[in-house]
Every structure is written in structure tokens, then in C-alpha cells.
Structure 1
Amino acid sequence: MKRWLLGVCVVALAVPVVAQEGPIQQRGMEAVANFLQLTPEQVDQWKGLLDTQEAALAPLRDLLRDTERALGELLRSDNPDPTAVGSLVLQGKNIKEQMEEVHRTYLHGFEGMLTPEQAGRLAAIRRAERLEPLFPAFRLFGLLPPPPPGPAQ
């Protein structure tokens, strides 16, 4: 559960970067759209979901940052009030739960727009992601080929 929560927080913090238009983000979106074989209408719908998620997450991120800053300041004081510390910890937990719910809503919307074939492709990527940490061990014993060379430096 903690790993999942960390993943959600990382995603929540990374979404503004991904949602920004730029060459890297555009290539990433194109790669996902091509792999899943999204239609132009689905890509537009996906962009709308990202925009909606960002609009919901931005104020929560600000609130979480302010809460964590206040908690840090309180903990650095000579005699922090335990009640205030507990209150800020619970407030931070509540904000993170709200962020998780926003992300779940985004995922539900994204998954809901997929055809069964596209959903299968997404499931395959999710399975592959769980297996990726095993690749080095398999390469060590020659059970997988070495990775292709990277771009020239």
C-alpha cells in the first residue's frame, strides 16, 4: 500500500510536467497513443482528462506543500505542540487521499474510453512494467539479449 501511495504521489507531482506541451511530452503522448492505437477523438478526450486532473491536483499540491512546510517548521521548533503536529499530519494524509482519488478518477476515465483491444494493450504494458526489474538478472545469465545501444553522446 505504501508503495502504491508513493507511486500515486509521484504521478500526481509529475502530471504537471507531463501535461505541459513540449517536445518530450508530445513524443510521450504520441508513443502511448500509437501503442494503444488511440483514435484522434480518444487523444482529444485523453487531453481533456489530463487537463481536468491537473486542474484538480494543482490546488491540492499547493495545499500539501503548505501543510508539509508548516509541519516542518513546527517540528523544528523547540517544543512542538503534539496536537498541532498530529493535526498537520492528518491534514497531509487527507490531502494525499484526495490526490489519490483525483488520480483514480483520471485512470477510470482513461480506461473507460478504451476499446477492449486497447485495454488489453494497456494491461500488457502494466504487466511488463512489473517484470522490468527482472531484466538485468535475466541478461546476466544470457537469457535476454543486451539492451540496444543508446543514442550517441
Structure 2
Amino acid sequence: MSNIYVEDHSDHRSSLAQDLARHLYGRQWSGKVVVVTHKPVVALSALKKQWVRLTEEVRRARASTLKVDYIMEYDATLARLRHFHMTIRKPVEAQGCNVFFMAPEGLGDIPEDCRTVYLACPLTDEALQRLEEKLPNHALVVHLSATE
């Protein structure tokens, strides 16, 4: 994969949704995200639950500080977390969304400005090749556990 960065996150210390939420928290500024899974509805539900927990952690951290700089930073982070939208619809149907969950068959519909792809299921070499062709330079592909 030329000009594509690849990470392997197959050894989870916590649930797949928790690991995905934490990694996505750090990548939320990097453009659109695609999560490829055999069960998009289940994965979306699990990630939304973890996203709410992550938001609560940031809210608690904000409440525990008195430093104005930190409070302003936490407020900006909370606003971003609240406006981070996830969907199982196609990118052309939901252009305001940040994260798209799709089955491997839907890889032809990834958004043009997709900078991060999480693979929660195995893909064929042909599907990986098609994915590589659609991604921009310096995109990130994260291989998650093959079991969902």
C-alpha cells in the first residue's frame, strides 16, 4: 500500500467498540471515517454507546478543573464530540456525517475525503486493492480484530 499508513490493532485490551472510540477520538479532526464490518447496525450502536461514555469522561474532567485554559479546551472538545455524527447510510445520503459504517460490499461508496478506514472484518486482496485506489495519499487503514 503506497502512501497509505497501516496500523494493526488486533490485540484489544478492552472491547472492540471501546478501542475504536478511543482511537477515533484522536482521529476526529482528520476527515471522514469509514468502519467496515459485517454488522454495521450493531457496530454503530456499540460505538455510539462508547462515544457517550467518552463524552462523559471529558465532561467529568472539565468539572474537576479550575484552570480557565483547560475549561476552554474541554468546552471545545465537548462541542466537537456532540457534533460528531455517525450513520449506516451512504455518504451521498448523509453528507454531514463524520463516520460511515458499511459492509465490505459497500466499499465502492466511501467518501472522497475519507482519511481513516477501520477494518473490523477481513477483506479479500481484491477488495483491499480497490480500497487503496479510492483512498487519498497518507490515509490510515486500521486493522481491527477479525472477530466482531
- With normalisation by structure 1, the TM-score equals 0.29
Q: Which of structures 1 and 2 has the larger relative contact order (alpha carbons within 8 angstroms, sep 6+)?
A: 2
Q: Which structure shows the higher strand fraction?
A: 2
Structure with higher Rg: it is 1
